[in-house]
Amino acid sequence: MKFLTILPFMFVTILGDSIIDVSYANVPLLDGRIVGGSPVTIEDYPYQVSLQLLGSHRCGGAILNDRYVITAAHCFTGWPTSWHTIRAGSSVHNSGGQVIQVNEIYIHPNYNGTLLDFDMAILYLVSPLTFGPAVAPIPLPLENQFYLDDTPAVVSGWGAMVEDGAASLQLQAVWVPMVNNGRCEALYAVENYTITDSMLCAGYMSGGRDACQGDSGGPLVIDGLLIGIVSWGEGCARANFPGVYASVPYARSFITDITGI
């Protein structure tokens, strides 16, 4: 699988949480870009933010309330918390909107960086966001809320639009159908990857539309509810390999414990 995060300036690109040789182990590779989607404006996705490291786009995220943002745990690799900011309210990731420094990073206590299990983190901002047409929180589902196969979901972000391509400057979005965990696990079993209860899957068996590099940590949404966080996948938009997301319904109690939502 692939999940490439983007580091600013002269830093190296990393696979997963650190520079590792994955040839010896079945380690998920991080996802992160929208493939097969369309350009959209932030007013249609006002919950979307760009998580930035030293001012450069690294991952996506979603607004929970005026002080909390949710993203993927694998987006954090030991850099100081103060180096991270979020940009909200802009359709492009490099200008405009509101830029606010991250004050605290809460990684899910059960996060496993090898399996990318419970791949979720909550950010507490130094100052509150100002809500408006381009900046708004996204409602959450109930704990363990279940979605049927083929339920349409939308994923958005600034990741690359083709595998191993450059990141998109303009926000992109694409619709993908839900895939049940049993089927998803069978598909990924050919690569000896594990699908756990903390994960959700969505994508077309024919491929062509997916989240990928640079979209990591971004929102997967059904009927206006945040149900998943972009986590990992085998390549980008490859046939028979749906995208894998951290499940918000499964981790609902963690979100409540941190944010009170």
Q: Which residues are catalytic?
A: 74, 119, 216
- Measure the CA–CA gap between 111 and 214, rounded to whole angstroms: 20
Give the sign of the dihedral formed by CA 229, CA 122, CA 161, CA 117.
negative
Question: Which helix (H) or strand (E) is 259 found in, with range?
Answer: helix 252-259
- Within 10 Å of residue 172's Cβ, how many Cβ atoms? 25
Residues 174 and 157: their CA atoms lie apart, in Å, by 9
Q: Which of 98, 79, 69 is nearest to 9 (CA)?
A: 79
What whole-number distance in Å separates Cα of residue 215 and Cα of residue 50?
9
Which residues make Cβ contacts (< 8 Å) with residue 115, sequence separation at least 6? 27, 28, 194, 196
Q: Distance of CA 253 to CAs 57, 109, 121, 161, 236, Å? A: 29, 12, 13, 34, 31
> How far is Cα 165 from Cα 160, in angstroms, rounded to an integer?
5
Distance CA 198, CA 34 (A): 22
